[in-house]
Amino acid sequence: MDLTERKLQILQAIISDFIANAEPVGSRTLSRKYDMGISPATIRNEMADLEDMGYLHHPHTSSGRVPSDKAYRLYVNQLMQKYELEHNEKARIRRELKTNLDQLEKTVRHASELLSEITNLTSFATIEDRQSVNLFLEGMTKIFAHPEYNTIEHARNFLEMVDNKENLSDVLSEREDGLSITIGDENTNRVAADSSIITATYHVDGKLVGKLGVIGPTRMRYGEIASVIEYMSGNLDRTFRMIENGMDPDGALTGDDDDEE
């Protein structure tokens, strides 16, 4: 069975609606909210096909469908729209990261705090060398704002995962350079099988120093969050590079250097 343009359109609408509302999506919702030019009956047939293909799940307590990990992977690879940060968002990140520039650890820790505040997710930052990984975690209790962790079991599993810093550090140190998005079962940590992890690397003097990222439910705003993480890691790169070269990063970061991105 092929993924036709119509199936892709329906799948994208379901994923977008589910990310926004955390409610299973039915054919009537799609017909009412999205102008697809097809009947609810046709939408139902297409949704049934998408379920057979492994892109949708059908919760027993609802007539609607929810995306699978396979659907989110397709979304990230093909359907996700690039999110462009607003000028004021970029200015805030540059302004916030100007503090403690002469102290790598404080700057990285503050970057993690800021990322958690912006995304409303649990965030982390690492400083890595050949012997060890220094891990900073922020916003662990933010999971309670997401319905995926409303049950005691899911909340406990998540908190146990992030509380085991040695294990989590090992998982993060193995991730690829650059922007990396792993979804559900793609994560090597069994406990992270219900979560997604987005990371980006940052460098000092051209050498990989660590990673900045978030961990949360597979139902997350991938495009927006990935753009925030990329911008913040790039800002750290540029700031530390200027410090290494004896330049004044304070003046450079006050202006709008978006053209360099």
Domains of the chain, by residue range, sit at: 5-79, 87-260
> Domain 5-79 belongs to what architecture?
Orthogonal Bundle (1.10)
Predicted local distance difference test score (pLDDT) of residue 253? 45
Tokens of 240: 């530390």
Closest by CA to 121, choosing from 143, 100, 106, 102, is 143
Predicted local distance difference test score (pLDDT) of residue 246? 61
SS3 129: coil
CATH superfamily name and code, 87-260? GAF domain (3.30.450.40)
Sequence-ordered strand ranges (E) for the chain: 56-57, 66-67, 122-128, 133-138, 180-183, 195-204, 207-217
Predicted local distance difference test score (pLDDT) of residue 52? 96
Predicted local distance difference test score (pLDDT) of residue 101? 61
Predicted local distance difference test score (pLDDT) of residue 7? 95
DSSP letter at 142 equals G
Predicted local distance difference test score (pLDDT) of residue 245? 63
Tokens of 41: 């009956």
CB 68 within 8 A of CB 53: no
Beta-sheet pairing, 133-138 with 207-217: unpaired
How many whole angstroms separate alpha carbon 58 and alpha carbon 183? 19
Q: How far is CA 97 from CA 53, 199, 234, in A?
A: 45, 18, 12
Per-residue pLDDT of the chain (261 residues; tens, 9 = 90+): 789 999 999 999 999 999 999 999 999 889 888 888 888 899 999 999 999 999 999 887 667 899 999 999 999 999 988 889 999 999 999 888 876 666 778 888 999 999 999 999 999 999 988 778 899 999 999 999 999 988 888 888 888 888 888 888 888 888 888 999 999 989 877 767 789 999 999 987 778 889 999 999 999 999 999 999 999 999 888 777 766 666 655 554 444 454 444
